[in-house]
A and B are shown apart, each in its own frame.
Chain A
Amino acid sequence: MRIIVWASFVVILGLYLFATQVPVSITPDKVAEAVSDAVSESQVPVDEDIVEQVVLRSLEKIDAGQRTRLTYLFAAYIVVWLVFMLYVLRLEQQQQVLDQRLAQLEPP
């Protein structure tokens, strides 16, 4: 039981670390390239630098928002598993005490 609880806790923690540490696939270079393409196709005159800054800022906000949401999500699951873990540890402790007492009762 203890192994199951530990293993699932590691799975949750691993998923969280993986989800929050994955490098962002949309790099500033790719943004600059995409903005340049879009501006060249645009039929109205636009300032490429301003558009690039706005897009980069938007991406930062999206990224920050996702990190916040993932933190809430994994905090909840870690709380769930902490409660189970503490309960299983307490059960094991009680079982050990009971086994010791029962062993004392057995005739030598």
Chain B
Amino acid sequence: MGNLTTKIIGVITAVLIFISLYLVFGYARVEGTMLEVQKIFYYHVSAALTVFVAFGVNCVFSIKYLIQRKPNDDLLAVAAAELGIIFCTIALLSGPIWARYAWNTWWNWEARLTSTLVLWLMYIGYFILRSALESDKRRTYSAVLAIIAYLDVPIVYYAVDIWQGGLHPDRGTKWSLETTMRWTWMVALLALIILFVYLLIVRYRMKKAQMRYEIIQQKYLREAA
């Protein structure tokens, strides 16, 4: 992907973020029960759904790496995992602020919250594993761990159905929102997904440059020896 395309995606990201902020604060109707606090929903839920996309990309490229053994697939998988952790952190930090107001507690060990925290911890473990191993082993083992960790994503998504009686609303609630709220949420979701794509390209390029640097450095060291 060329520099110009990346710049265009960057501009689209910026425009969408500002439009979504306008929609959140200036267009979407104030909900009747939670009033202004309900507006946390737009970025909280969008960040949580972007986590699924990010870890999905990580899982796909991990499988691709295990089949084709191309280092570039591993780099894309790592970049996606890193961004997945960032979006998951956002969901995990903005959620308790909502919870404090809505449920009168910062944290509750209900199914969706707990499974999301487990997901976050698993991908932290993914990076710990990568830092502990050497090159080829690191790529292979972390790809296997990525596939295992991704199994938690459907658990997070269907947690409210599997363990009923939790504090989170049903999965379909976001689709039954009032029109202005639904549009605002969809634009916020689109903005965060495009932001993820943009950051993924940036991060992948950096990782690729880093890998090239390490290859050249090793070549110099070998020649010097």
Contacts and interface: CB of A to CB of B under 8 A. Distances in A.
Given A11-B21, A83-B93, A76 B40 contact: yes
Interface stretch (A36-44, A46-54, A66-74): A66-74
A15 B98 CA distance: 19
A83 B47 CA distance: 12
Contacts, number: 75
Contact of B209 (A4, A79, A98): A98
B18 A8 contact: yes
Nearest to B102: A72
A6 B225 CA distance: 48
Interface stretch (B64-72, B118-126, B210-218): B210-218
B13 interface: yes
A4 B21 CA distance: 13
Interface in A50-108: 66, 68-70, 72-73, 75-77, 79-80, 83-84, 87, 91, 94-95, 98, 101-102, 105
A94 B202 CA distance: 12
Contacts of B10: 1, 4
B90 interface: yes
The prevalent SS among residues of A at the interface is helix
15 contacts: A8-B18, A12-B21, A15-B25, A70-B36, A75-B97, A76-B43, A76-B94, A79-B90, A80-B94, A83-B86, A83-B89, A87-B199, A94-B206, A98-B213, A102-B209
- Would you list the 5 A-B pairs with minimal beta carbon distance, nearest first? A76-B40, A76-B97, A69-B36, A76-B94, A4-B14
Interface of A: 1, 4, 8, 11-12, 15, 66, 68-70, 72-73, 75-77, 79-80, 83-84, 87, 91, 94-95, 98, 101-102, 105
